[in-house]
A and B are shown apart, each in its own frame.
Chain A
Amino acid sequence: MIITFIKHEFKAFWRSKNAGKTLAVRIIMSLLILLLLLYVVAAGFLMDLILKKVYPHDSLIFSFCGIVLIYFVGELFSRLQLQELPTLRVQPYLQLPIKRNTIVGYLALTALFSIFNLWPFLLFWPFLFKVVLHDAGSRAVISFMVSFIGLSIFNNYLALYIKRKANLNGWVFLIATAVLVLFILGDWSWHIYSIRNVSYLFFGNLIKHPLLALIPLALGALMYYVNFLYLKRNLYLEELSTKKHEYKSSTEFPILAGFGATGSLVANEVKLILRNKRPRSALTISLLFLFYGLIFYTNPGLKTNEALKVFAGMFMTGFFIISYGQFMFSWQASHFDGLMVSKVSFADFLRGKYLLFTATSTVAFILTTPYVYYGWRVLLVHFIMYLWNLGITVNIVLYFANRNAKRIDLSKGASFNWEGVGATQLILSLLLFIPPFIIYLPFKLLGHPDLALAAVAACGVAGILTRGLWIKFLEADFYKRKFAILDGFRNK
């Protein structure tokens, strides 16, 4: 049965209308991952040299024991950001004579096929064979291996469990990330406890008592079981969530009424964001990112670096544009046909997008004004980056929107649905961060920081003033691609 599932998954992947695009993205991704793996392998083989350099006074095995747990905490953090949920469209199988356990077991097991689970092997195993085998014997090596596997499995399923929960409620993800960040800060900044010491304690004793390796393994098994149970219970989830009968009231936004057709389009889009899980979590995450500046501005070492202010300013005032704009116009895929036929000109449609982004960025800028505590210049930079986002970032995002024909199904329960989110999203958003620095850095490096900011501001203002031209350009561009986009959106 499981083999049949795997076959179906392959078919779904190859026969999807977007296979070409996905494939290209996947090839780029796998090249990047390969590069990363090379670094990891190199680090693994040179581990003893690196440890010697960092901790010249400790014995090799001792310092190795110290870093293992730190690694796994860091790994959990990156898993939360990057690991993708395995998806099998389970619905068609639920009513067939297939045991529920088989379906859930498949979903839970395939989750192990993640690049993350390879890392500890590449990073730590060379060291085990090079050093530990020689110094502490084969029994210690085996116990290390078993505990690494256990911790990997634990991390794997913990991350997926959190991600699954987060699909239902965006806050879970934020809270989990915050807890983890606080946990790391508790060691690094506040020195309340030391993860390193815990690591010493456990792995140091592991050499003497190999049976301790069963503890991480048991934790891993437990987490797998929790995941399994959660999945099993929530195979029903979609029906359960639609059965909630609360009265949905109609809402209006009087402020937007003054903008005519554009205003009512924006009103619809605001409702889209607030009434659907996925866009709503894009919004909550952008709100959380307003605290991003604290990381930079509280750090005395980074305080003087203005390029970081440019970065933080852009991020905070423009995060919504990036996170939500990335999937434009996919959010509206399910009713795009209707929009195209209704009495809405595409220019108005675009004006609606500009209005939406202007509004959200303005709110974000206003919310970041308390950063003035770190100096007026911070506020100035934020304002300049706010102009940049409205003048340039918006146009880039909308330009790419014309090239996106991938459907997002808003009506689908989010529980098994992590469409397009993950590493690819991160890479695309990074592309948006490069242009301001192309303008900024040359002036800055020539010793004219004020001129550099002025240049960025000028670009932003120019972008805003020429909006009419951009709308014309994007409209013409859209009509070239209209049918491909419509076709893609119709393709469920």
Chain B
Amino acid sequence: MIQVKDLKKVYGGVIVVNIPGLAIRKGESIGLVGNNGAGKTTLFRMILDLIRPDSGGVLLKDEPVAGHENWKNYTAAYLDEGFLIDYLTPEEYFYFIGGLHQLNHAQADDFLAGYADFFNGEILKRGKYIRDLSKGNQTKVGIASCLLQNPELLMLDEPFANIDPTTQFRLKNIIKEQHKKGVTTIVSSHDLNHVTDVCNRILLMEKGKIIKDMATSSSTLAELKQYFAIGDTPFIKALQIDPEENH
């Protein structure tokens, strides 16, 4: 599905992304973790042809993203509020996105009705423009608009960051459902519990490099926590019990 080759991006002499090779198969569910500045968002943006790589490139379905537009037909992404048209009402935005994918209003409404729980009554028919919604609710709009596109590749950058615990829980189920449907998903997150719970393959980035690429197992969470809690040994020991409780 995704092939990354010799991908490199340098900002002011600092390498922000440097990935010699990465292949993601169709239907995989990828979790992308790493501290701030590890290069997660830059990688997302290069996959979406929003930033020009200094070398190398990204292939989606064996076709380079740069200079082509076919990938837009099966890719849906929500990275930040910059993906939303904020002076529209959520309905108008959904109809716009749905229209691009040949869905009429009724079909879009039907689809959205299935996400009433996820919206928790805060999105539709509230008489607000997207810009007047809270950041968490904007995230909901962004995620729902991705799903509306019925994508083969779904990319979410820190979707758990601004939403309430209930919605986080629901979002995890949504991502799992997408995975069951055979959708390739890439989700970045700082929440290690969520990401190990949802994804079957974890990529750990540090300073632009993928330093760990592992299939999720019962020990993954502990391993990740050990990596992130540098020099805080008692804390790690306490946490290592966690995965058992988390099942």
Report A's interface with B, CB cutoff 8 A.
242, 246-251, 261, 264, 267-268, 271-272, 275-276, 334-338, 340-346, 410-411, 479, 483, 486-487, 490
Chain A residue contacts of B51, Cβ below 8 A: 483, 486-487
Residue of B nearest to A484 (CB): B52
B96 A341 Cβ-Cβ under 8 A: no
CA distance A21 to B91 in the complex (A): 39
**Chain A contacts of B89 at CB under 8 A?**
248-250
Nearest CB of chain B from residue A393's CB, rounded to whole Å: 26
Binary flags per residue of B204-233, CB closer than 8 Å to A gives 1, else 0: 000000000000000000000000000000
| Residues of A with C-beta under 8 A to B52 | 483
Determine if A345 and B69 form an interchain contact, defined as CB atoms under 8 angstroms apart: yes
Most buried by A among B77, B79, B86: B86
Report chain B residues within 8 Å CB of A345. Answer: 69
Q: Is the pair A264, B85 in contact by a Cβ cutoff of 8 Å? A: no
**Judging by beta carbons under 8 Å apart, are A271 and B101 in contact?**
no
The answer on a CB contact under 8 Å between B86 and A335 is yes
Given contacts A410-B87, A479-B67, A490-B82, A342 and B127 within 8 Å (CB-CB): no
Q: Does B92 contact A (CB under 8 A)?
A: yes
Contact indicator B127/A247 (Cβ below 8 Å): yes
> How many residues on the B side are at the interface (Cβ–Cβ under 8 A)?
36
Q: Closest CB-CB distance, A355 to chain B, in whole Å? A: 16
Q: Is the CB of B100 within 8 A of A271?
A: no
CA distance in complex: A487, B46 (Å): 12
Bound Cα distance from A475 to B79, whole angstroms: 25
- Cβ contact within 8 Å between B92 and A335: no
How far does the Cβ of B32 sit from chain A's closest Cβ, in whole Å? 17
Q: Is the CB of A338 within 8 A of B87?
A: no
Which of B83, B95, B129, B131 interacts with A341 by CB under 8 Å? B83
Residues in B neighbouring A264, C-beta threshold 8 A: 96, 99-100
- The docked-state distance in angstroms from the alpha carbon of A98 to that of B243 is 50
Against A, the Cβ 8 Å flags (1 = close, 0 = not) of B119-139 are 000000001110110000000
- Min C-beta distance of B151 to chain A, whole Å: 10
Please measure, in the bound complex, the distance between the C-alpha atom of A62 and the C-alpha atom of B128, giving whole angstroms.
63
With A261-B99, A334-B86 as given contacts, are A340 and B67 in contact (CB-CB < 8 Å)? no
B75 at the interface (CB under 8 A from A): yes
Which residues of A are found within 8 Å of B128, using beta-carbon distances?
Answer: 248
Contacting pair A275 B129 (CB below 8 A): yes
Q: Which of B80, B88, B131 has the most CB of A within 10 A?
A: B88
Listed from nearest, the 7 A-B pairs whose CB atoms lie closest are A247-B127, A338-B83, A483-B52, A337-B82, A343-B100, A275-B87, A250-B91
**Closest chain A CB from B143 CB (angstroms):** 13
**Closest partner residue, chain A, to B142 (CB atom):** A338
Question: Is residue B73 within 8 Å, beta carbon to beta carbon, of the partner chain?
Answer: yes
A247 to B81, CA, bound (A): 22
Does B185 belong to the interface (CB within 8 Å)?
Answer: no
> Quick one: which of B73, B84, B129 contacts A338, CB cutoff 8 A?
B84
Which residues of A are found within 8 Å of B82, using beta-carbon distances?
334-338, 490
Q: Please report the C-alpha to C-alpha distance between residue A242 and residue B127 in the assembled complex, in whole angstroms.
A: 14
Chain B CB count within 10 A is highest, among A246, A336, A483, for: A483
**Could you write out 30 A-B pairs with CB less than 8 Å apart?**
A246-B127, A248-B89, A248-B127, A248-B128, A249-B127, A264-B96, A264-B99, A267-B96, A268-B88, A268-B96, A271-B88, A272-B85, A272-B87, A276-B87, A334-B81, A334-B82, A335-B85, A336-B82, A341-B48, A342-B72, A342-B97, A342-B100, A343-B72, A343-B73, A344-B72, A345-B69, A346-B69, A411-B86, A486-B50, A486-B51
A346 cross-chain contacts in B, Cβ below 8 A: 69
Q: For the complex, what is the distance from the CA of A346 to the CA of B69, rounded to whole Å? A: 9
CB-based nearest A residue for B78:
A338
Contacts of A247 in B (CB 8 A): 127
**Residue numbers in B under 8 Å from A261 (CB-CB):** 99-100
Given A264-B100, A268-B96, A483-B51, decide whether A341 and B75 contact each other with a Cβ distance below 8 A: yes
Residues of A with C-beta under 8 A to B196: none
Interface flags for B52-94 (1: CB within 8 Å of A; 0: not) read 1000000000000001010011010101111111111101100
Question: Within 8 Å of chain A (Cβ to Cβ): is B6?
Answer: no
Task: Tell me the complex Cα distance, A335–B82, Å.
Answer: 4
A410→B127 CA distance, assembly (Å): 19
- Is B197 part of the contact surface with A, judged by Cβ < 8 Å? no
Minimum distance in angstroms from B116 CB to a CB of chain A: 18
Knowing that A275-B129, A479-B67 touch, tell me 20 more A-B residue pairs with CB under 8 angstroms.
A248-B127, A249-B89, A250-B91, A251-B92, A264-B99, A268-B88, A268-B92, A272-B85, A272-B87, A338-B83, A338-B84, A340-B50, A341-B72, A342-B97, A343-B100, A343-B101, A346-B69, A411-B131, A483-B52, A487-B51
